[in-house]
Amino acid sequence: MIQLKTFGEIRIENMIDLMRKILIEQHNSKVKSNREILKILIISICFFGVQQLAFRCDDESPNSVNRGNYIELIYLLAEENLLLKHHLENSTTFIGLSSDIQNDLIYSISHVLHQKILDELEETEFITIILDETIDINNKSQLAVVLRYVLNNGTLCERFIEFFDVTMHRDANSLSKFVIKFLNDKKIMKKLIGQSYDGAAVMSGDSHGLQAKIRDVNPSALYIHCFAHKLNLILSKSCSKFKECKVFFATLSCLASFFSTSSKRTAEFDKYVKKRLPRVAPTRWEYNDRLVQTVFNYLKDLVVFFESMIDEESDIVWDNDVLITSRGYLNILNDANFLILLYFLQEVFPESDLLFDILQTKINDVSYCLKSINDFRNSV
């Protein structure tokens, strides 16, 4: 009876309050949904960062067979997430798949991470800066900046900060101005107690190098060369002074290339040797270990393989150049000097690899590293 008597006579302010309440509930529900969608996008971007995967490809149009890792992952997640699927099918203003949105999300995540690092830098009392230069795919020189410090609870942190373009400023003066400005901007110059770079003269020069110019501003910033990098240089340069060693490693490198450049040789090689010969990097001593160990473990199989290649009764016809090369490799694999170095180095490499791992482990202290170096020297 009350509803009947008051039909059409409800006060307008009560109706406005009711509608306002409904609109607020709808708005909050929409905000909650948007946050869930944004959470999925952020988690996906963090996943690509951790796994070091590329985000985009050349053609990201709806008709493309492959729209890039990021977009394809989002649509894959939408198969199991109805909220995300509804968003992708019905959203008209913000979908979150464009390259601009991806870049904005990446920048936002990096801003949060940098702020977290700055908060940690305020806590710590001592900081070391680590710099290294690298060339990107566009042939630009980039300076990678890493900070290493200990928190008050004893946790050791090593944080990558950013890549900086130094293509036009690679001399010691320009780099020192950049580093000093960077340290002052972060307000950590007074906390700097160490600096670590590679052995290039621009970086490590005693009087005009970057480390010397930083010490002019902050004498407490001791320069420490990367021990693992030193070890690599010492072993590589030492071997390059001996003709036998140079020939030995050149032979191993050419041996790996001999099979990798021909599918026919690779297919035949797989019948005799159940393991591929790894490629090596000429500037990385430790990368030779896998090749030396593989040749040592499969030496007899390699000899049988090359003997089969030069066998006149072989069913497979090889080019004359391949036959001549095969006969040369067979002679080398039976050569006493080659075998002596092979047997010797397959004993040395496990020791040097162990030392490389020790020198690059964050938790080890200087005294333990020095002891390990002496142990390696005595072992050799």
Average pLDDT value for the chain: 84
Burial 319-328 (b: 16+ CB within 10 A, else e): eeebeebbee
Residue 33 domain-assigned (yes or no) = yes
Total Cβ atoms within 10 A of residue 127: 23
Same domain, 203 and 254: no
Q: How confident is the model at residue 61 (pLDDT cuts 50, 70, 90)?
A: confident
Same domain, 296 and 349: yes
Residue 117 domain-assigned (yes or no) = no
At residue 262, the pLDDT reads 78
Same domain, 334 and 248: yes
Same domain, 317 and 198: no
Same domain, 14 and 73: yes
Residue 20 domain-assigned (yes or no) = yes
Same domain, 282 and 166: no
* SS3 at position 221: coil
Burial 38-55 (b: 16+ CB within 10 A, else e): eebbbebbeebeeeeeeb
Q: How confident is the model at residue 41 (pLDDT cuts 50, 70, 90)?
A: very high
Same domain, 73 and 178: no
Q: Which of 225, 255, 271 is the last residue of a domain?
A: 225
Bridge partners of residue 132, in order along the sequence: 144
Same domain, 177 and 268: no
Same domain, 249 and 340: yes
Q: Which of 177, 194, 225 is the last residue of a domain?
A: 225
Same domain, 344 and 263: yes
* Domain count for the chain: 3
Residue 280 clears pLDDT 70, i.e. is over it: no
Residue 206's domain is classified under what CATH number? 3.30.420
- Treating both helix axes as pointing N-terminal to C-terminal, what angle do 210-217 and 172-185 enclose, rounded to 10 degrees? 40
185-224 pLDDT, tens digit per residue, is 999 999 999 998 875 656 666 667 888 888 889 999 898 8
- Calculate what percentage of the chain has a pLDDT beyond 90: 23
82-116 pLDDT, tens digit per residue, is 999 998 888 888 888 888 888 999 999 999 999 99
Residue 186 has which token pair? 């972060």
Same domain, 310 and 203: no
Q: Are strands 156-165 and 141-150 parallel, antiparallel or unpaired?
A: antiparallel
At residue 7, the pLDDT reads 66
At residue 108, the pLDDT reads 94
Residue 295 clears pLDDT 80, i.e. is over it: yes
Residue 132 domain-assigned (yes or no) = yes
Alpha-carbon distance of 215 to 350, in angstroms, equals: 38
Residue 103 domain-assigned (yes or no) = no
Q: What residue ranges in the chain does DSSP mark as E strands?
A: 127-135, 141-150, 156-165, 192-196, 222-223
Residue 2 domain-assigned (yes or no) = no
Residue 207 domain-assigned (yes or no) = yes
The type of residue at 317 is V
**What residues have CB less than 8 Å from 270, skipping those under 6 apart?**
276
Q: Which of 172, 194, 225 is the last residue of a domain?
A: 225
Same domain, 150 and 245: no
Of 284, 296, 297, 292, which Cα lies nearest the Cα of 356?
Answer: 284
Domain that holds residue 37: 10-95
